[in-house]
Structure 1
Amino acid sequence: MSWFEAVILGLVQGLTEFLPISSSAHLRLTAAFAGWEDPGAAFTAITQIGTETAVLIYFRKDIARIVSAWCRSLTNKAMRSDHDAKMGWLVIVGSIPIGVLGLTFQESIEGPFRDLRLIATTLIVMGLLLGFADWRASTGGGRHRAAVQRKELTDLNTRDGLLFGFAQALALVPGVSRSGATITGGLFLNYNREAAARYSFLLAIPAVLASGLFELRKVPGATHMNWGGTIAATVIAFLVGYAVIAWFMKFITTRSFAPFVIYRVLLGILIFALVASGALDPEAGETSH
């Protein structure tokens, strides 16, 4: 991987990580369209450390409050009913599904799951699910009373936290989108857009950081990876990702997810068309891991 490729892929990572359009799919597609070698799951996981650092900084006050309350709740029983202390436990509980499934299906994630036909399918299917969930949230599912009381993060419980976690685990398949799947799950659970997005970002922190650190174990034997370029890509992903978070959190307070749904569906159709015409190899740029 050249420095130029690393910089472009870092930019793509930062732009797409927090939007419900799948950063792993876009990294894979960028490489395929440009004729580059697939950056692979390891590059994706490491550059995601940069974007998660952006989450840590953007939500630093929330995170500091949650960590502080959670630590105090370990020795102070009275603190265990505190919302922030509960959030600490709910992030832990919600992280279990992706941790277990990620280790179980590691070989598939780094291989067969990166087929462009599967990515096109997940882009379309999950896009339509997001669109339906968003429509249901804004119209009350077609019922006469359009205004439905939506849940806030203060309403989050263990059951919902675990269901959020299973939704996040779907993002192990490129094309699903971590934020897209988690937000979709939250909307189906009757949470409002901002609450679903905020918990999605908080829930991603343990999973993404653990994934990135897990991939770092391969450093001694990773002769094919440009580590200088990878570090540069990670820094770029952080800077761009921070700006995207700020924009996205404001966007969803007044706008629907329709633009992202349309984009996902059109991109998926384009990939299928290119593969069917022979213009794009569904395994273009694949590497053995």
Structure 2
Amino acid sequence: MTFLQELLIALVQGITEFLPISSSGHLILIPKLTDFPDQGPLIDVAVHVGSLLAIILYFRKDVMGLARGGFASVGLAKDDAQRRLFWFVVIGTIPAVALGLFLKLGGYLEGFRSTQLVATNLIVFGILLGLADRFGKETKAYEDMTLRDAILVGLAQAMALIPGTSRSGATMTAARALGYQRVESARFSFLLAIPAVAGAGLLAAFDLADATAQMQQDAIVAGILTFFTALATMVFLMNFLKKASMLVFVIYRVALGAALLAFL
């Protein structure tokens, strides 16, 4: 990979990971719309880990709270509220981890790298996002999370393993449909991403250990570049959602999906 391709992948991942427009779908489109070769799922996971580090830095206070909840779960601290939220994040992560392992061990991930699949999911899940954001109430905050809500948002996150769906888009759609405020929907979506992406990164680390030195270097550079892009995007999105709806993202998804289908 050239540095230009690494930079392009990092920019695309860093921007699209947190906006509800599907980062994996856009990453798949890069080799199809440019002269660059397909970077492969290993690089895709590496840049997702770069995004993960940006989440941890931006939401460091929430992450520390979840850590206290984890310690409280084993009797090393006393914080019932954080313990409850910690377990809701864990429970919400299980569907994505289970489905991800099934797809990886079954060798199905490569079969998802289809432009038509990406285009269709951009449209379908974009419309669902628009409906949930338009008609969903704004009465709940992250601290109001219940077991039922955690499971439903977790199931939505599992759906996002299919490119074009968008992990942040699917989880925010579910959260908005359940009555969570826009900013709070994004907050829980990003915190829910931490264990899921960390798990995918751990699996990729084993593959990366067996990769060539050049592939390892490409993954590290792309991940670092993604971290800075993702951090800037997260700051923008959290401020944007305080003042505006998700309509612009819905329009973008539907327009891009329709253009891709027309191109095909």
Deviations 1:165-201 (A, max 9, x none): 1000111011111100000010111111111110000
Q: 1:111 offset after TM fit, Å? A: 1.5
Contact kept? 2:116, 2:261, Cα under 8 Å: yes
SS of 2:226's equivalent in the other structure is helix
C-alpha displacement of 1:42: 1.6
Q: How many residues align?
A: 263
Separation in structure 2 between the aligned mates of residue 180 and residue 150 of structure 1, nearest angstrom: 19
| Overall identity of the aligned pairs, in % | 40
1:36 Cα deviation after fit: 2.1
Q: In 2, distance between residues paired with 1:68 and 1:165?
A: 22
Aligned partners of 2:138 and 2:176 also within 8 Å: no
Code of the residue aligned with 2:194 in structure 1: it is I
Match of 2:59 in 1: 59
Give the SS at the match of 2:242: helix
Whether contact under 8 Å (1:21, 1:123) holds in the other structure is: yes
Question: Per the alignment, do residues 78 and 217 of structure 1 end up closer, same or farther by CA in structure 2, a change over 3 Å counting?
Answer: closer
**Residue in structure 1 matched with residue 6 of structure 2 by the alignment:** 6
Give the C-alpha shift of residue 61 in structure 1.
Answer: 1.1
Q: Paired residue for 1:135?
A: 134
Q: Measure how far apart 1:149 and its partner are.
A: 5.5
TM-score (norm 2): 0.94
Q: How does 1:51-200 map to 2 (within 5 A)?
A: 51-75=51-75, 79=79, 82-106=80-104, 107=106, 109-137=108-136, 148=137, 150-200=139-189
- Label 1:108 to 1:251 Cα distance change in 2 as closer, same or farther (>3 A): farther
1:35 counterpart SS class? coil
Structure 1, unmatched stretches of 5+, are 138-147, 276-289
Contact 1:66 1:85 (8 Å CA) reproduced: yes
After TM superposition, give the deviation of residue 251 of structure 1 in Å. Answer: 0.6
Counterpart of 1:273?
A: 262
In structure 1, distance between residues paired with 2:263 and 2:103: 28
Which of structures 1 and 2 has the bigger CA Rg? 1
Q: Which secondary structure state, in structure 1, belongs to the residue aligned with residue 64 of structure 2?
A: helix
Counterpart AA for 1:127: G
Name the residue aligned to 2:236. 247
How far off its partner does 1:92 sit? 0.6
Counterparts of 1:219 and 1:230 in 2: how far apart (Å)?
Answer: 8
Retained in 2: the 8 A contact 1:151–1:192? yes
Letter in 1 for 2:11: L
Equivalence for 2:224? 235
